[in-house]
Amino acid sequence: MSPRSVIAAQEAPALGIGYYTVPEAARLIRMPARSINRWLGGYAYRSGGKPRRMPPLWTPELPANDDGLELGFRDLIELRFIQAFVRENVDLRVIRACLEGAREAVDDPRPFSTRRFKTDGRTIFLESLKADGASEMLDLKRGQYVIKAVLEQTFRDLDLDGDVVSRWRPYQGKDTIVIDPKRAFGQPIAAEAGVPTVALADAVKAEGSIERVARLYEVPVAVVRDAMRFEESLHAA
């Protein structure tokens, strides 16, 4: 193998894990890139006049490079859960306590994207708060409501194989569009044809006809339309 091939192989994303830059992840999850960098990169702050550092919530699946953090598919799913908790106005200290407790209960560094969390998440969440003393920061009755809502909403468009989340159906939970780390490095694609949604959406802009693009790519018209609307929703977010 030539030196150039060796370098390319080292830089290529690991198969089956998925690959996302922070801006790509932010676009898919519809959240600020700055939040992802803070949550997964840690950040410095001052307390009592002294410099301190907040550690990352977890270490991403892929090593960082000179351009910044690189994330895997399960990082993406975990971030969706964090974002869902934040939208429910749950304090990040409470989320961190829940995450740490869930890691121990599930025995997985990314517990939110597991079958066990889907079935026992509410119990794990509340037990973690009590054990950590974080229950003082969140009313436990409200906490039960929050975790139930987050579990129902977030797992609704996720598929599991074995014990972990394996696919995400990001467009209204439909089967037409899928994010699968084993296909196209985890980029959004038409589920059956495997064509990236961005390619279909760009083709519609260029051709000016959904029907023509459907014929060119041999993809059903309804799938092309979903791909186009999905891409439009990402830009509108």
When pLDDT is averaged across residues 119-146 and rounded to a whole number, the result is: 81
What's residue 237's pLDDT? Answer: 62
Quick one: average pLDDT of 93-107? 92
Grade residue 14 by pLDDT with cuts at 50, 70 and 90.
Answer: low
Q: Average pLDDT, stretch 12-37?
A: 90
Mean pLDDT score of the chain: 90
* pLDDT band (50, 70, 90) for residue 1: very low
Task: Tell me: pLDDT of 223 over 90.
Answer: yes
**For the ranges 8-12, 92-96, 219-223, which has the lowest average pLDDT?**
8-12
Q: How confident is the model at residue 139 (pLDDT cuts 50, 70, 90)?
A: confident
- Is pLDDT above 60 for 119? yes
Residues 97-112 have a mean pLDDT of 94
Residue 93 φ/ψ, nearest 5 degrees: -65, -35
Which percentage of the chain shows pLDDT scores above 90? 72
pLDDT of residue 13: 53
